[in-house]
């Protein structure tokens, strides 16, 4: 199993509960805003602590039974809805922030089509460029799995196609397990190997 | 233009202000970080104590320093015994007084800028494998640099203007503790001191104005999300 997630969390007035066993490929969490989809990603990444439950990814226990692996050791490639590029670092430095020495930057920038952006500052990028840099940065940190939080919402149609292709490449060629959140049915259909409604 | 005596006063003021600012900088940053980021019992009290020099009469702060650093004081006695050092009537004492008085202003500016650092960026860095120290050195610190510089400039200006605590703590010794405000005060006591008071005051105003403008520009830079580094 790629993802075994059974967690419960109360955030304010909202009760978030999910019980999910997903195999390889891309698992899409689909549902309206406000049901706690992003909170599930945050719990898998370690940014939010579940009240109860367990999280196992690729056979490795990340949370539960007294285990709570710190964020920086979970090796989650997290692509946030707002790219969250570091504003004081150029694209190249953003990409290699989490990369080990000898990481193949050229291969990643190649398939994402961002090789020409390396000297730019994040504030000069378009939404689609920033999102692809964020995906590249996550991939170069050598993750064991990817968490994608509505990676396409802020983009226009042409940019969406570019980023969608990049995600399909990660799913089919790099074979990284993906957990993705979306509220767009078309996106869910196209990317999801399976769809989990929340 | 300026007499040798006036130059002595100005250079001494710059030395006292510079040393006070540099020595207070790391302390102010540590306090600002603590107040901005850590929830601990007694936080409100620490916040209040840091701000005390801003509201207590400076002469009281000066007297408290005199008691602490005096020959029998809790800091002065060990300083004398272990290092044979006394800061009384010395420029180093003037720098201590200036630093204490500047601390609240520096902490305020730095704290605002640390609070303005986007925690979501820090979370992103953690998912990329960065531990707490790396997050601090690569994100928190560089992103709060404008506020640190604004605080430093403000602290420097405040140090140069320090009067009450300084004259109470280390007295008014020409060439040692007689900084700009003390020199202005001294010449005003003399019947023919008006011209010199005027010149020194003009310099004090110019220095303060330059510092305030610099600090404001740096703070705006921070507010716009632009970064010095």
Domains of chain A: 3-197 (3.40.50.300)
Backbone angles phi, psi at A24, to 5 degrees: -65, 170
CA torsion, ordered A58, A60, A61, A63, to nearest 10 deg: -70
Nearest CA distance, B188 vs chain A (angstrom): 50
Which pTM value belongs to this model? 0.85
Residue A88: which of B128, B129, B227 has the nearest Cβ? B227
* Cβ within 8 Å of residue B81, ≥6 positions away: none
pLDDT digit string, tens, across residues B121-170: 999 999 999 999 999 999 999 999 888 988 999 999 999 999 999 999 99
pLDDT digit string, tens, across residues B130-143: 999 999 999 999 99
- Using a 10 angstrom Cβ sphere, with 0-12 exposed, 13-18 middle and 19 or more buried, the burial of residue B52 is middle
Contact A103, A96 (CB under 8 A): yes
* B120 → chain A, closest CA residue: A84
pLDDT at B198 over 90: yes
Cβ-Cβ contacts under 8 Å, A46 against chain B: 126-127
What is residue B220's predicted lDDT score, i.e. its pLDDT? 74
Q: Which two tokens stand for residue A94?
A: 């953003």
Residue B91 lies in a domain: yes
pLDDT digit string, tens, across residues B107-116: 999 999 999 9
pLDDT digit string, tens, across residues B53-71: 999 999 999 999 999 999 9
Residue A143 three-state SS: coil
Residues 117-156 on B with a CB inside 8 Å of A are: 120-121, 123-131, 138-139, 142-143
pLDDT at B227 over 50: no
What is residue B223's predicted lDDT score, i.e. its pLDDT? 54
pLDDT digit string, tens, across residues A35-77: 889 999 999 999 999 999 999 999 999 999 899 999 999 999 9
Provide mean pLDDT across the span A20-49. 92
> How many domains is chain B built from?
1
* B227 → chain A, closest CA residue: A88
What is residue B229's predicted lDDT score, i.e. its pLDDT? 36
pLDDT digit string, tens, across residues A103-142: 889 989 988 889 999 999 999 998 889 999 999 999 999 9
What gap in Å lies between CA A156 and CA A127, rounded to an integer? 9
Pairwise CB contact (< 8 Å): B138 & A80: no
Contact B160, B17 (CB under 8 A): yes
Most A CBs within 10 Å: which of B120, B123, B124, as the mutation test of the A interface? B124
Residue B228 lies in a domain: no
Sequence-distant contacts of B222-227: CB under 8 A, at least 24 apart: B222/B113, B222/B116, B222/B144, B222/B146, B222/B147, B222/B150, B223/B116, B225/A87, B226/B146, B227/A87, B227/A88, B227/B142, B227/B143, B227/B145, B227/B146
Cβ-Cβ contacts under 8 Å, B143 against chain A: 87-88
pLDDT at B228 over 70: no
**Residue in this structure with the two tokens 């306090």, named with its chain if needed:** B31
* A143 → chain B, closest CA residue: B128
Cβ-Cβ contacts under 8 Å, A88 against chain B: 142-143, 227, 229
Most B CBs within 10 Å: which of A47, A69, A71, A81, as the mutation test of the B interface? A71
Instruction: Residue B42: give its domain's CATH number.
Output: 1.10.3720.10
Domain that holds residue B30: 4-223
Closest CA relative to residue B91, chosen from B7, B175, B182, B10 = B175
Inter-axis angle of helices B180-188 and B4-37, nearest 10: 130
Residue B229 lies in a domain: no
DSSP 8-state class, residue A35: S
Closest CA relative to residue B69, chosen from B46, B87, B52 = B87
Pairwise CB contact (< 8 Å): A97 & B130: yes
pLDDT digit string, tens, across residues B3-59: 888 999 999 999 999 999 999 999 999 999 999 999 999 999 999 999 999 999 999
pLDDT at B226 over 60: no
Contact A24, A2 (CB under 8 A): yes
| B224 band by pLDDT with thresholds 50, 70 and 90 | low
Pairwise CB contact (< 8 Å): B126 & A80: no
What is the average pLDDT score of chain B?
A: 91
HSE at residue B193, side-chain half, CA atoms within 13 A, is 14
What is residue B49's predicted lDDT score, i.e. its pLDDT? 94
Strand partners, A74: none
* B126 → chain A, closest CA residue: A72
pLDDT at B222 over 70: no
Provide mean pLDDT across the span B84-99. 95
Residue A98: which of B120, B129, B143 has the nearest Cβ? B129
pLDDT at B176 over 70: yes
């Amino acid at each position: 199993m790629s993802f075994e997630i059974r967690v419960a969390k109360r955030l304010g007035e909202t009760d978030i509960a999910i019980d999910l066993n997903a195999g390889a490929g891309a698992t899409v969490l689909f549902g309206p805003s406000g049901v706690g989809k992003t909170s599930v990603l945050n719990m898998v990444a370690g940014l939010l602590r579940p009240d109860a439950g367990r999280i196992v990814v690729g056979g490795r226990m990340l949370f539960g039974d007294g285990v709570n692996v710190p964020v920086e050791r979970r090796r989650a490639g997290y692509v946030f809805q707002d790219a969250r590029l570091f504003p004081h670092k150029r694209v190249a430095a953003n990409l290699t922030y989490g990369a080990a020495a000898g990481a193949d930057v050229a291969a990643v920038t190649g398939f994402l089509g961002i090789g020409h952006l390396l000297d730019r500052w994040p504030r000069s990028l378009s939404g689609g460029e920033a999102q692809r840099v964020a995906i590249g940065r996550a991939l170069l940190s050598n993750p064991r799995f990817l968490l994608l939080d509505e990676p396409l919402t802020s983009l226009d149609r042409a940019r969406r196609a570019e980023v969608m292709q990049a995600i399909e490449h990660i799913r089919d060629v790099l074979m990284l397990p993906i957990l993705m959140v979306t509220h767009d049915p078309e996106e869910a259909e196209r990317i999801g190997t399976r769809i989990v409604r929340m | 233009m300026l007499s040798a005596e006036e130059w002595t006063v100005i250079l001494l003021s710059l030395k006292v202000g510079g040393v006070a600012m540099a020595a207070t900088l790391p302390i102010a940053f540590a306090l600002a970080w603590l107040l901005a980021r850590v929830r601990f019992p007694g936080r409100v009290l620490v916040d209040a104590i840091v701000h005390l020099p801003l509201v207590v009469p400076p002469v009281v702060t000066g007297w408290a320093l005199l008691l602490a650093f005096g020959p029998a004081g809790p800091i002065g006695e060990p300083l004398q015994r272990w290092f044979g050092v006394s800061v009384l009537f010395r420029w180093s004492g003037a720098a201590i007084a200036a630093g204490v008085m500047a601390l609240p202003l520096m902490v305020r500016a730095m704290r605002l800028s640390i609070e303005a650092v986007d925690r979501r960026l820090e979370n992103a860095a953690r998912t990329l494998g960065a531990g707490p120290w790396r997050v601090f050195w690569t994100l928190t610190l560089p992103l709060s640099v404008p506020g640190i510089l604004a605080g430093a400039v403000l602290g420097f200006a405040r140090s140069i203007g320090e009067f009450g605590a300084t004259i109470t703590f280390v007295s008014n010794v020409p060439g040692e503790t007689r900084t700009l405000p003390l020199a202005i005060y001294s010449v005003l006591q003399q019947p023919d001191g008006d011209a010199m008071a005027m010149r020194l005051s003009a310099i004090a105003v110019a220095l303060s104005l330059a510092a305030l403008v610099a600090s404001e520009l740096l703070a705006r830079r921070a507010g716009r999300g632009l970064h010095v580094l």
